[in-house]
Chains A and B, each alone.
Chain A
Amino acid sequence: MAPSRKTVLVILMGASIASIAVGTRAAGWLRGITAPAIAPLGDGGMWLTVRFKAQSHGRQLRDLSPEEVRALHDEVEYWRRRTNYWRSRSEEYARHLRSMRVFEKLYGGSFGPIGDLPCELIPARVVGMDSLPYGRTRMVTPGRTRGVREGARVTTFELLTNRSKAIQQRLWTINATSLVGRVIEAGAFTARLQLVIDRGFAMRGRLRRRLDPRKPRKILVSLRDAAVLQPLTDANNRPVDVNDVRGDGKEGLIVSDVPAGEQIMVGDELVTRNDDALMPMEVRVGEVVEVLENPKNPEFVTLRVRPYAQLDALREVYIVWPLSR
């Protein structure tokens, strides 16, 4: 005899309560087995959404004021001088490289191969978003079948250019990486990506201060027994490690407990730490957009960071899997 609809409803409600009691492990498993139903057809919808979002969030250009033009000109001059310096260094290194290649030809067979990137990059595509707007996660393919596991970091590759017109094909290009999140659930064919701006996202990071001749700053430097204020230069511009980086659930990240003496400013850069077991390299995360003083403890400041990646229009990503694991 088939159970009545009332019995079915009672069983289903009981199953819901049991699922809440079991927790996120059961939820991950359930999502893993049902997500492949969404993934194939979700691809087309996400393409439309990404196109729309990329259009609507395009950066608006405005005319520069004469002061801004002058400042830009000074900055260009500064970087031109720096470029000349590094060009001469580059030529010097090129000479070294040529001699090393000769050495490699002679003795290269005696040693094993050395990988320059200690990670495998698994290409993935965003095929779905959260139904509810409270979390900032995305569904990506592939999943476990291609080696994706929970905890893996996810990056996106962007092409950087300062030209207003389209770049011709077949030119060399420079690309940069930026972190977009990490995998929090991995099913057979799909995985769930938690964006860096999600409330649950947390990581350790590293701040890199940008040297700007227009904004000189002094930092506290320890010399033997005393700490003295010195202008920030190439020589003493060491990275600042931070342990508490979290997503704010809206459109950025919050970096807490940053020593005020490090003089972090708007425009400085947040990167990942190369001592992280899951991401053993430095990858850009975002730019500091606001420095907030802590009224309770003036020795520390809180930073707001805007991610480099355009997370609303995220489509192609790379899942980082360290080869050492």
Chain B
Amino acid sequence: MKVVPVRWIPFIILAYLLTLLQTTVGGVLAWRSASLGPIGPDLLAIVVVYVALHASSGIDAMLAGWILGLCMDLTTGGGAGGATVVGPMPIAYALGAASIYRVREAFFRDRPLPQAFLAFLLVALSHIFWVSVQAMRVGGLGGGAYGEMVLQTLLVALYTAVLTPLGCFALGRMRHWFLTPGARRSRRSR
């Protein structure tokens, strides 16, 4: 598979549609744990993983991650003890995308297991970063509640990881919409 530049306008439309899915029908995919609260997949993280695995440059991957993180923050109003701030998730996704871009040569990127593993790491680390920043910035979250939320992030990461191969397969079928065919060919994708 080729590594390719991102087509930004179709990508932003894709981000918008996925955000719409996440904020409405995403509720159907969530299940409720009596001790930890709702556990639902992070659909946008799947796109971050896919783009980071296939973008032509680290800057492109980071920009895509930033846009998806912004979508996430703009549509999340509550969480760590009060109204949340905008900003942590764009930073987390951009840095996560850059990290995946740097290590992607070590993985067979079209195999389900590496995709799921990278998605688990991305969601777990970026969500823990998000929860921590919100808890510090907004306040009102005790130590016990913070621990519960960290546990919740790990379950969300696991759920997302399970769905990631399916999501990457679907994104692969429509990649020509948001990724321009490029010339450079990756070693580990053949």
Contacts and interface: CB of A to CB of B under 8 A. Distances in A.
Q: Do A and B come from one complex?
A: yes
Contact of A250 (B30, B34, B80, B141): B34
Given A38-B23, A48-B28, A184 B83 contact: yes
A155 interface: no
A24 B72 contact: no
Given A6-B59, A199-B140, A250-B36, A137 B85 contact: no
Contacts of B81: 199-200
A20 interface: yes
Given A42-B24, A128-B23, A16 B80 contact: no
Interface stretch (B99-107, B108-116, B127-135): B127-135
Nearest to B136: A20
A249 B145 contact: yes
Contact of A49 (B24, B73, B75, B77): B24
B167 interface: no
Given A52-B28, A250-B34, A251-B34, A192 B74 contact: no
B127 A132 contact: yes
A132 B23 contact: no
B32 interface: yes
A185 B74 CA distance: 12
A5 B59 contact: yes
A134 B21 contact: no
B32 A132 contact: no
A314 B158 CA distance: 27
Contacts of B152: 133-134
B27 A312 contact: yes
A204 interface: no
A23 B137 contact: yes
A45 B25 contact: yes
Contacts of A250: 32-37
Contacts of A49: 24-28
A200 B82 contact: yes
Interface string A112-139: 0000000000000001111111111101
Interface string A242-279: 00000001110000000000000000000000000000
Contacts, number: 197
Interface stretch (B46-54, B88-96, B180-188): B88-96
Interface residues of A, number: 57
A255 B27 CA distance: 28
Interface stretch (A26-34, A60-68, A167-175): A26-34
Interface in B5-63: 16, 19-28, 30, 32-40, 42, 44, 57, 59-60, 62-63
A226 interface: no
Contacts of A41: 20
Contacts of A229: none
A33 B166 CA distance: 33
A24 B84 contact: yes
Contacts of B38: 133, 136
Given A27-B85, A199-B141, A184 B66 contact: no
B86 A31 contact: yes
10 contacts: A5-B59, A12-B90, A13-B90, A19-B86, A20-B85, A30-B74, A45-B21, A46-B24, A137-B77, A139-B23
Interface of A: 5-6, 8-9, 12-13, 15-20, 22-24, 26-28, 30-31, 34-35, 37-38, 41-42, 44-46, 48-49, 52-53, 127-137, 139, 184-185, 192, 194-195, 198-200, 249-251, 312
Task: Report the 8 A-B pairs with minimum CB-CB distance, sorted nearest first.
Answer: A45-B24, A135-B78, A135-B79, A137-B78, A200-B82, A20-B87, A19-B87, A134-B79
